[in-house]
A and B are shown apart, each in its own frame.
Chain A
């Protein structure tokens, strides 16, 4: 069974541009979570999608947004990129909403120049 996949693996953008990151959950998983791990900082919760709806978001500005498609894959969009958006962005999926085990993807490394 395939795990959580993310694309691209690396992304280089310049300030002010937009970035789009993609995530495909494990088959059958309906919940998708996005996390940011900036250099030297711990993981921070960004967004949670379940059954196509945004269920919760962390303390990030509105220029961080996303969506979940009918096949439960998800997209994270970051508009008006800033240097401090450079980070590893991790996606995770789970079978059940709530405190179930989350399975993580390999991440997308975003570098903003």
Chain B
């Protein structure tokens, strides 16, 4: 079993829909990252969370440390949001990120 599980693996949505991407992990962590990878391969760091909630534009990330779960929400989705969204955790006491397999989002116009 992977230490980091993401669901769903693929998601197709219509422009304007509210989207939720989930990430569950099985280890104690010091931080969780949400990353966005576009088809060309480039990766952008969206959020780093250790508690609570963060918002940036149409993106909201939440984390529940007790339940070992994080969600990334996209409001008013747009075709340019189409990408792979990757959850990564920094296990407590470790010095390396552990990645989920990513969720491929396609937003159709």
Chain A residues contacting B99 (CB-CB under 8 Å) are 42-45
A101 near B41: Cβ-Cβ < 8 Å: no
**Chain A residues, CB < 8 A from B107:** none
Q: Which residues of A contact B102 (CB under 8 A)?
A: 42
CA distance in complex: A55, B96 (Å): 10
Judging by beta carbons under 8 Å apart, are A106 and B33 in contact?
no
Contact A55 B33 (CB under 8 A): no
Interface of B is mostly: strand
Given A42-B99, A42-B102, A55-B95, also A107-B41 (CB < 8 A): yes
* CB proximity of A109 to chain B, nearest CB, Å: 7
B95:A56 contact, CB within 8 angstroms: yes
- How many angstroms between the C-alpha atoms of A103 and B90 in the bound complex? 15
Q: Is A48 an interface residue (CB 8 A)?
A: yes
A106 pairs with B41, CB closer than 8 A: yes
Would you give the shortest CB distance from B95 to chain A, in whole angstroms?
5
The answer on a CB contact under 8 Å between B86 and A42 is yes
CB distance from B37 to the nearest CB of A (A): 8
Min CB gap B72→A, angstroms: 16
Most chain B CB atoms below 10 A, which of A45, A90, A97, A109: A45
